[in-house]
Each structure stands twice: as C-alpha cells, then as structure tokens.
Copies of this chain bind each other. A is one copy, B any other.
Amino acid sequence: MAEKISDAEFEVLDALWEAAPAAASEVAARLKRRKNWSAQTVKTLLARLVEKGAVAHAPDGRRYLYRPILSKDAYARNAAKSFVDRLFDGRAAPLVANLADSGRLTKDDIAELEAILKELKRDRR
C-alpha cells in the first residue's frame, strides 16, 4: 500500500468514493462533468489504481465492478498529515491561521471549529 497516487488517479478515486462499487463506465460518466476524459482514459487510471492497491475490482458478468480499498477518510488523514508536516511544521494552528488569512473561514466554519475545540478539551481528560 501507500503507492503514490497521481492527480489524475486521484480524480478517479474521488469519483469512486462518491458511490461504490461501480463499473468503469459509471465512473467515467461521473467524471464526464468535471474532466473531459475519454472512457479509455478512465479505464487506464482505474487499472493503475488497482495495480497500486488503492482499488479492488471484482468481475460482474463480463465487466468489473470497482470499489475503493483506500477510504477517503484514510487518504485524507494521511494527506493531511504530510501536508501539515511539509508546510506547517506539523502543526495545525498555523494552517488554520493561514486559511483564516486567506479569508477561507466562514462564520459557520468558525462556529464549527469552536465546537470541535470544546469537544476536544472535554475529551482529553
């Protein structure tokens, strides 16, 4: 596991996270709106994801149904970790500060964050 997933592969995986299992054609259809990829391209990317162990495929009649092995949550967890490590010295606070600076925090976000923090303080003893 943990083979690097490329940008294009990520898009496909993301489409699979939307709903799985799904046939290649379904995935391609979902991506059609965002990307302008041919069906073949999507199939190639699915195959690469399978090779990389991020996606499983099981025969269903004469086609395959694909299903993510790597969950979005697990992926996000990892990505968040390495992202924060690389750019924010492993600490979340500067990241939030940065998001705040670039005006990416809505009032709702702020309220939600406060709630999360309250939770955290309660939980940790």
Contacts and interface: CB of A to CB of B under 8 A. Distances in A.
Copies in the complex: 2
Nearest to A101: B77
Contacts of A97: 116
A18 interface: no
B124 A104 contact: no
A112 interface: yes
Contact of A87 (B80, B92, B96, B104): B80
Interface in A70-125: 72-73, 75-77, 79-81, 83-84, 86-88, 90-93, 95-102, 104-110, 112-114, 116-117, 120-121, 124
Interface secondary structure of A, over-half rule: helix
Contacts of A96: 92, 96, 113, 116
B105 A120 contact: yes
A10 interface: yes
Nearest to A73: B98
B80 A105 contact: no
